[in-house]
Amino acid sequence: MDAPAPIPCELPEDAVSSFAPLRPKLTRLAYRMLGSVADAEDVVQEAFLRWMGADRAAVAVPEAFLRRTITRLCLDQLKSARHRRETYIGPWLPEPVVAAEPEPDDDVTLPLMLALERLSPLERAAFLLHDVFGLPFDEVAATIGRDAAACRQLAARARTHVRAERPRFKVEQQRGLALAEAFFHASRSGDMETLGAMLAEDVTSHADGGGKRPAAPAPILGRDHVLKIHKALGILFRKYGSTLLRTAYINGLPGFVTREADGVIQTTALEVEEGRVTAIYVVRNPDKLGHLDG
């Protein structure tokens, strides 16, 4: 993406007032397209600069104009992002977005975001715009520069790939947070009996260190193997410490934020089905956690 234009000293009032209410929705779109908080914020800022330079009086629907701008900027960004993901060290996870509670009627959880990574950029855009943001296909077509029939095919292919990752079980909010807190205490204290009772037989564990912090180089599969690694980690946690900062929802999943013994923030998100943890997602890469340390 080209370097953004310099920001004028005085911002046009109409540009600011029309853009500000749309910023949260535009940021959600950019984040879901890119999986990066920092990149999403950069894209939204670039869209704002373009909005200031546009003939705003000639734009009938500012939201459609800005959504189109955001999507096209993201498509450009994804071309280089795909290469970076191919050379990434260890499992790649999206940057964690932490909230006190999940957004209502929002099923774009962390597993679905990982499934989106397997799509082409155009499939990802068509799926998000139509299936998540509810746009009709003629509007999707205008946004991504394809005809409506092609957009239907793109979204259908995407739907087939991600169907299995749509959440099948909604975890009651307080139950999810209580489970996350219990997981923290069992894993940090070395209570493998309690931890084992919380895990599904086919649980998987994914840790994103990005080559910057120690993390398993591949997902760990199965309860026995996950317990084995947590038993070893429990010894380190008891020796060096791990502080629970808060339980929260992380990319739509119950989880917790910790500060580890080296002072670095870490997030753990838990996918839960029928009361058992089926997947554990740990983000340790400090490049992905700076927005949480403050």
Residue type, 261: A
Q: In the chain, which ranges are E strands?
A: 98-99, 199-208, 220-221, 242-250, 253-260, 265-273, 276-283
- Cβ neighbours around 76 below 10 Å, total: 14
State pLDDT tens for residues 109-138: 899 899 998 899 999 999 999 999 999 999
Are both 234 and 288 inside the same structural domain?
A: yes
Q: Which pLDDT does position 1 carry in this prediction?
A: 43
Sorted by sequence, the CB contacts under 8 Å of residue 58 that are 6+ apart come out as none
Q: Which pLDDT does position 266 carry in this prediction?
A: 96
Are both 120 and 53 inside the same structural domain?
A: no
Sorted by sequence, the CB contacts under 8 Å of residue 185 that are 6+ apart come out as 191
Give me the CATH number covering residue 145.
1.10.10.10
Q: Which pLDDT does position 200 carry in this prediction?
A: 96
Q: Which pLDDT does position 262 carry in this prediction?
A: 83
Stretches where the chain sits below pLDDT 70 are 1-11, 83, 104-106, 164-170, 294
The angle at the Cα of 101, spanning 78 to 113, to the nearest 5 degrees, equals: 20
Instruction: Establish if 188 belongs to a structural domain.
Output: yes
Instruction: Establish if 98 belongs to a structural domain.
Output: no
Q: Are the C-beta atoms of residues 259 and 245 closer than 8 Å to each other? A: yes
Are both 187 and 151 inside the same structural domain?
A: no
Are both 273 and 220 inside the same structural domain?
A: yes
Instruction: Establish if 101 belongs to a structural domain.
Output: no
* Number of domains, the chain: 3
Rounded CA-CA distance 42/127 in Å is 22
Q: Which pLDDT does position 164 carry in this prediction?
A: 66
Residues, the chain: 294
Which residue range is the domain that position 25 belongs to?
1-87
Instruction: Establish if 96 belongs to a structural domain.
Output: no
The angle at the Cα of 212, spanning 206 to 270, to the nearest 5 degrees, equals: 25
Are both 179 and 278 inside the same structural domain?
A: yes
Q: What share of the chain is helix, strand, coil (3-state, %, to 5)?
A: 55, 15, 30
Instruction: Establish if 102 belongs to a structural domain.
Output: no
Q: Which pLDDT does position 294 carry in this prediction?
A: 56
Q: Are the C-beta atoms of residues 195 and 227 closer than 8 Å to each other? A: yes
Are both 159 and 198 inside the same structural domain?
A: no
Instruction: Establish if 97 belongs to a structural domain.
Output: no
Q: Which pLDDT does position 6 carry in this prediction?
A: 53
Instruction: Establish if 217 belongs to a structural domain.
Output: yes
Are both 142 and 186 inside the same structural domain?
A: no
